Structures are given as structure tokens and as C-alpha cells.
Amino acid sequence: MVKLSPLAIERVKEFMAKDKNKANGLRIFVAQGGCSGYQYGMVLENTVKSDDISWTESGINVYIDNQSARLLQGSNIDFVETVQGSGFKIDNPNAVSSCGCGNSFETEEGAHSHGEAEGESCGCGCGCGH
């Protein structure tokens, strides 16, 4: 399904320790939007939904809805720290293209055109200039 790197697991545990709602799990999801058609999302959560695929990885409960699971199948999640900033990075083998910032992606089956001229920003607000 989806694998989290040791550093990603460490960071999620740090966020969970600071969470005032005392979440016991991580929801990973895909939503429509962004420059390339889909956006990644992650949120701390306590609730398993009826259509979730769930498992425990290194002490973290992970929840993914069926629709998102299909789009994330085989993905690896890491936490990266660069001069430009830090955050979770998702390596998704199902993405045929992605936004310059890496926060959104497009699959072959969902490929579509936004109608922007070459080099024109789509206006999603992520600042990638896609």
C-alpha cells in the first residue's frame, strides 16, 4: 500500500505528541484540486471511517479512504529538510506529472488540460508557477 520512511514516522509521532486533540492516527488522502488535478493531504485523526483501509505502522495508525488508496497505491512518504524548507514528500508511482512544488499530481487516467498558455500559472495559489 503506502510506506512511510523512518524519518516520516518520527515526524508524525512528534506532531502527534504535540496534538491537543491527542490524535492516535494519520489520515492520508487525495482531493481534487491543485495545478495538476489532485492534491495530497495529511491530517492527524482518531476516527476510522467505514470505507477506510487502515493499518498500524511503527505504532502509528494509518487511515486511507478507498478512492485515495487507489491513487496512492505503492507510494512512499518521506520527510525532507532542504534550504527552502521542510515537509513531507510523496513519491507516487501513479503520478504521470506533478506540480513544480510537488503538492499536486496528475494520473494517466485523470489527465486533463487546464487550458493555460505555455508558462502561464494556473492560479492554484501554491506558488509553484505551474
Please state the φ and ψ torsions of residue 101, each to the nearest 5 degrees.
-85, -10
pLDDT in tens, 86-112: 889 888 887 765 655 555 555 655 554
Secondary structure of 9-39 in HEC code, one letter for each residue: HHHHHHHHHHCCCCCCEEEEEEEECCCCCEE
- For residue 113, the number of C-alpha atoms closer than 13 Å in the C-beta half-sphere is 5
Rounded to two decimals, what is the model's pTM? 0.73
User: Residue 14 sits in a domain of what CATH number?
Assistant: 2.60.300.12
Going by their DSSP bridges, the two strands 85-91 and 3-4 should be labelled as: unpaired
Q: Does 121 reside within a domain?
A: no
Say whether pLDDT at 28 is over 90: yes
Total domains in the fold of the chain = 1
Structural domain range at position 84: 3-107
